[in-house]
Structure 1
Amino acid sequence: MPTPNELAEMFLNGEYIIDIDGSVWRDTFLLLAKRGEPELSVKHKAHMLWTVNGGHLRRKIQDDRLVLCVLKKYLPGYGGSGLWLYRGECQFLHEKNLIGFCWSPKIEVAERFASGLNAIESGGILLKAYAPPEAILAEPNQHSAVQMEEFEYTCDPWLLKEIEIVKSFPAS
């Protein structure tokens, strides 16, 4: 198993290993949070890794503030205007005030998550929120926009405004 330093280097190269213990990922993110500002090429690799594996990493690390600290440093940023975005969230996470980072301007994408993957344990909810520019950490990369057609914006959930439940879905 890689050490946190080795795993940090892999993360910076866009490499992800799924079967790493959450405590090792947490230690890795603590190391990444202390490092200096990365080059833009590293940010693009980290963005791709986050787009594909972010939900899994979040569940492993179980510390949204630490995840946010790393995302702020290692995602490419955003230079546009504020947007209305949607998210399909787990009911139990919403009840714990643990709203996720990944949002889409496409309501049908968020509804698919709210009624599917994020409805498995406790039911899902479709959320709508206004993301001011300072809340958006990254706009959709090519993988998210072209291949997945999810148009995922990564956001700081603590900076989102006017969060509302649009629709609820039963546990699936």
Structure 2
Amino acid sequence: MLQEDRDLFDTLRAKHWPTVCAQMLAEPPAGDLPRLFRSRWVEFGERIRVCTADDKLLTKALRAWLPIYDGHGLTLYRGESAARYEAGRLGFNWTTKRATAEIFGSGWNALHPGGGCLLCCDVPAGAIISAPDSHSRWLGEDEYVVEPAMLEGVVVIAEYPRSGQQ
């Protein structure tokens, strides 16, 4: 199913993502599908996560289909909503660029109740699923995909008030 439609990731509806993730585990990717999925993950990763609503299933699918990271551990940053951090629901996308993470923490994530925060973590190589692709680098994000459940020692290094509040 997944091998036959290169436009699949552009046409999926929210209700389909749990089924697609299960199919990804049953059908190893062929050709340029890992590259294509990596590019779509850059743009729609948060939406895919929300629609899948199962981080364990999503993590398995990401490990099965994204290009494999084969480097060493890294210090990575993430702009996160304070509420999501406090709930222990860290995001999958992290960067080596502190300034990029600050933009996300003080911008989009600061719109949520409780505001945003800037996180830092020394991420072991085994927790890094995939390195940045050319699209992520072109955007200037240098986004690494990590397995949030494997992160330890995450530190809040900055807090941002909810946007629009003094």
**How does the TM-score come out when normalised to structure 1?**
0.86
Matched, 1:15 2:6: no
1:12 Cα deviation from its structure 2 partner: 6.0
Instruction: Summarize deviations over 1:47-83 as a string: whole Å, max 9, x none.
Output: 1111111111112222211211110100001111110
Aligned match for 1:139, one of 120, 131, 135: 131
Check conservation: 2:3, 2:29, Cα contact below 8 A.
no
1:14 and 1:151, CA in 2 relative to 1: closer, same or farther beyond 3 A? Answer: farther
Match status 1:91 vs 2:66: no
Residue 42 (structure 1) aligns with: 33
- Please say if residues 14 and 49 of structure 1, whose CA atoms lie closer than 8 Å, have aligned partners that are also in contact: no
How far does the alpha carbon of each residue in 1:91-141 deviate from its partner, in whole angstroms, 9 at most, with x for none?
Answer: 111121110000000000001000111111121110001111111111110
1:66 aligns with 2:57: yes
Q: Of 28, 31, 44, which aligns to 2:20?
A: 28
Partner of 2:141: 150
Residue 24 of structure 1: CA displacement? 2.1
Number of the residue aligned with 1:159: 150
- Counterpart in the other structure of 2:104: 113
Partner of 2:67 in structure 1?
76
Identity %: 30
Whether the 8 Å contact between 1:14 and 1:45 is mirrored in structure 2 is: no
SS class of match (2:78): strand
Any conservation in 2 of the 1:11–1:46 contact (CA below 8 Å)?
no
CA distance in structure 2 between the aligned counterparts of 1:129 and 1:40, rounded to whole angstroms: 34
Q: Is the 8 A contact 1:11 1:49 kept in 2?
A: no
Quote the residue 1:55 is aligned against.
46
Relative to 1, partners in 2 of residues 1:48 and 1:25: Cα closer, same or farther, differing over 3 Å? same
| Poorly superposed stretches of 4+, deviation over 6 Å | none
Residue segments in structure 1 that go unaligned for 5+ positions in a row? none
Question: Which moves more between the two structures, 74-83 or 38-47?
Answer: 38-47
Displacement of 1:157: 1.0
Alignment TM-score, normalising by the size of structure 2: 0.88
Displacement of 1:11: 7.5
CA distance in 2, matches of 1:17, 1:128: 35
Letter in 2 for 1:97: G
Tell whether 2:122 aligns with 1:130: yes
**Aligned Cα RMSD in Å?**
1.9
